[in-house]
Structure 1
């Protein structure tokens, strides 16, 4: 899905041009709206100078916009359909691509048959593995189709098309469990500054670590400030003593004028708003655990956490079908435990365990940022998370081996979560749980004594800013 625009002609010139990201080979139309006529008549003519004349096609696409009562300021809708790497050994015909695009648009509510006035659109192909769809968002009868929620609709429709056409790689429909991705402007700024990640991603990691280590709102805010994060509380307009939200910012990552750039919890991830965090902590909040100063105490605490994680894995398998809310609360608390363990093991280094915790958190998140009331098992895991958070850095051999046992138990819990998400048809999260389990076992295998055969590590998501390109978006 691309940003909406105002000039159809400019977009067509680019699609028929040489290309910037990749070479455009033999650009041509492969489908158009019902009633458009023969594709050969729509194809932009080549002039005597060897250039394309887009005026006729541009005029046809813009006619409903010019005749519309109140057309949108940016009426040009642009989308791409691309084969996954697993399917690129297949070269689909122009007719197949045209039918696939038409079916996707129809299911998404953007294309209609000739008897119903709909949008005007065309499909342009200039490579073997993908096509571009260009539409204007004013119908033949002058009404605007605002294409609201077009992204999840198109993803779901593309999934169904891939199944019907027997493609091997079928991207599951979007489930709205991914965190908010940085804006391209944020990525560009981080690249210019030489940062390894954007302020939004860094803040999300610090906020999650504070959530996992806190038992309530006050401790959460204190831990954020201790980690170097600027915190601004939002108060109710009717009751100034009531806190209704918060925003965070990173020092040194503000505007050119030196002003901090604030992010509310909801702009970091859908489940990090203050009301959802309050529900996640529950009432009354558990008592904060004291610091663990001796190695024996830390080993014992990690052992208790491993037992709790093992029991939680068995409980999720046993009760997910009859108590999905309880299983969800347990999974969320387990994600907090892994976040605290990653910080205790790696500190600010952001190594493999941090990356595995990020993937596990995606698998454990509920749909649309919902939060379930904590159960007794969730309270137990939450207490273990806070216990691990206050024990300090894990450094000695005994501490490390105890931590690795906990890592393996959390991998077992990730296996259970994968089964639950697959049964719920939440395939993005099932894939994330499987990747987290593989990564956790790889971490444990890579740091065990040499007599143990190491497991093959799985690929886990890298930083948002990497080299000169933005990381692929997680849906």
Structure 2
């Protein structure tokens, strides 16, 4: 059973709507089935012309509001729509009356035996739902408390389901995305849109957040997609951004201005504070290093970052700063004759393990500092081609490393099954990032649907932010690699391998959500997995494909989780050059522990 709360200012208009034909003629035989008095005493009488006389009912419901005067709520009319599932049995008037009374008692608005409670009625004009209307003023002149009434209604709905044997629904754990309002859906239909603007913006913001590694990267990705961005600044610190709102250029209000949606109005985990926790509380870029990144991928990532930095600056100091803004570690080599003069540099991907440093010359002849300085002094120009573009082998390496990271995260989640199922929250959350970016770069509609459906399975209950984990870091690194890798041929083995790893990942997430007794999230993960299976088939794979991992029963998964040394991908092999605790930035890649 689903309950939706609405608030209004005038009870008279609401009553006339409930007794009317409805917007689409859907109201039939409207009648009061329960209320603060006997239904027969509250039922509006019929006039000689066949119309209803609502004056007495209007007065009975509005009288308590006069006791509060200026202490009234701005919208004192409390309206609750209760609807049963299509497969539920048809309830009679007596059963709906019992449900309405239990709902009012559990919300605290009209407890049993409370003669001074608010005045209310329950109107039924359809087989599968009723409308409960109350005015928020008690007879004793006390204003009732409706704070968090939505959560009390949700708990009451679940209790009613158990009592009457109705279809079970999910608890109010704040994992569901915000649904578009009816007015938004009608506006989308009038303007010829396939979906409400809120849904479009939610998908674009979620994709930008999944692929971004910094706050600046996030806003740049939104603007590149044509989304209008409005930042909110602190009232105490002029340059401190505390929030944001987004809009589509062609979605205008009656005033002619864009209709803005804050991040929190799209989804609970898209507020700026929670996005910052996802990227890193210290503001640093999310690292792409670690055991899941091969040397070939690391070189391609570094080469791309250096090229972007070099194209955006004209001095050595700004070049180093631009590299650091992209989240790279930078070491400068200084002249022996002039200590303040920088003669070279080396860069490395941040990693919790060992760092591998690459000098500019190791990235390519055009990336040495003298060559960059010559280009800056010669009024600019892009770095020579084809080194500035990813090769097919490098792009394939990005996808392969992303699949390796997804496999590692799957193994970690399976290990959590036996140790602590609740320790996998960060990995479940980060899996959404990998799905979002995979859908974005491949353009596959099945992957897009999988990312949309999986959204609920990803969130931790009650809006909490999970503690970072190695599995979550691996999946976010996979999302970053896919974004850098860009569009790949949809029928390649790399795509099949990645989708197969994601299928195994979502199967594991569904199982751990079931162990956590979160059925709605488990169902979301299973449904998303079905879309992934269709994506694999459409890409040329099948259940017997060599790229696919064989399905394992739950017993096998638990056995893998119980194994003391879960599988993890092999770490990078040693790079060229001798090991040293103080690497020379001018001599190719070296490792520092």
TM-score interval (norm. to shorter): 0.7 to 0.9
Equivalent position of 2:41 in the other structure: 41
Equivalent position of 2:54 in the other structure: 54
Q: 1:190 to 1:377 in 2, by over 3 A?
A: same
**Aligned ranges for residues 323-472 of structure 1 at < 5 Å?**
326-346=423-443, 351-395=445-489, 397-398=491-492, 401-448=493-540
CA distance in 1, matches of 2:230, 2:162: 48
Structure 1 residue 197, shift from structure 2 partner: 3.5
CA contact (8 A) 1:344 1:393 kept: yes
CA distance in 1, matches of 2:99, 2:22: 24
Equivalent position of 1:469 in the other structure: none
CA distance in 1, matches of 2:437, 2:10: 50
Structure 1 residue 340, shift from structure 2 partner: 1.0
Equivalent position of 2:237 in the other structure: 239
CA contact (8 A) 1:270 1:368 kept: no
CA distance in 2, matches of 1:396, 1:30: 58
| Secondary structure in structure 2 of the residue aligned to 1:128 | coil
CA distance in 2, matches of 1:177, 1:30: 34
Equivalent position of 1:63 in the other structure: 63
TM-score by length of 2: 0.68
Q: 1:276 to 1:18 in 2, by over 3 A?
A: closer
Aligned length: 442
Structure 1 residue 6, shift from structure 2 partner: 3.1
**Between 242-251 and 57-66, the greater mean CA deviation after superposition:** 242-251
CA distance in 1, matches of 2:183, 2:220: 31
Q: Does 1:179 align with 2:177?
A: yes
Structure of higher CA gyration radius? 2
| Secondary structure in structure 2 of the residue aligned to 1:118 | coil
Q: CA RMSD in A?
A: 2.8
CA distance in 1, matches of 2:512, 2:107: 29
CA distance in 2, matches of 1:178, 1:412: 23
Equivalent position of 1:310 in the other structure: 407
Gaps of 5+ in 1: 454-475
CA contact (8 A) 1:415 1:434 kept: yes
CA distance in 2, matches of 1:25, 1:204: 37
CA contact (8 A) 2:490 2:539 kept: no
CA distance in 2, matches of 1:60, 1:42: 9
Equivalent position of 1:165 in the other structure: 164
Structure 1 residue 287, shift from structure 2 partner: 4.7
CA contact (8 A) 2:413 2:471 kept: no
CA distance in 1, matches of 2:491, 2:471: 29
Q: 1:414 to 1:30 in 2, by over 3 A?
A: same
Q: 1:24 to 1:390 in 2, by over 3 A?
A: same
Deviations 1:253-302, CA, capped at 9 Å, x for gaps: 34566644443322322212222122111255345635572333333332
CA contact (8 A) 2:399 2:485 kept: no
CA contact (8 A) 1:280 1:372 kept: no
TM-score by length of 1: 0.84
Q: 1:192 to 1:385 in 2, by over 3 A?
A: same
Structure 1 residue 450, shift from structure 2 partner: 8.2
CA contact (8 A) 1:15 1:126 kept: yes
Gaps of 5+ in 2: 289-300, 305-388, 546-593
CA distance in 2, matches of 1:80, 1:229: 35
Moved over 6 A (4+): 450-453
**Between 284-293 and 206-215, the greater mean CA deviation after superposition:** 284-293
Structure 1 residue 164, shift from structure 2 partner: 0.8
CA contact (8 A) 2:173 2:461 kept: yes
CA distance in 2, matches of 1:134, 1:335: 40
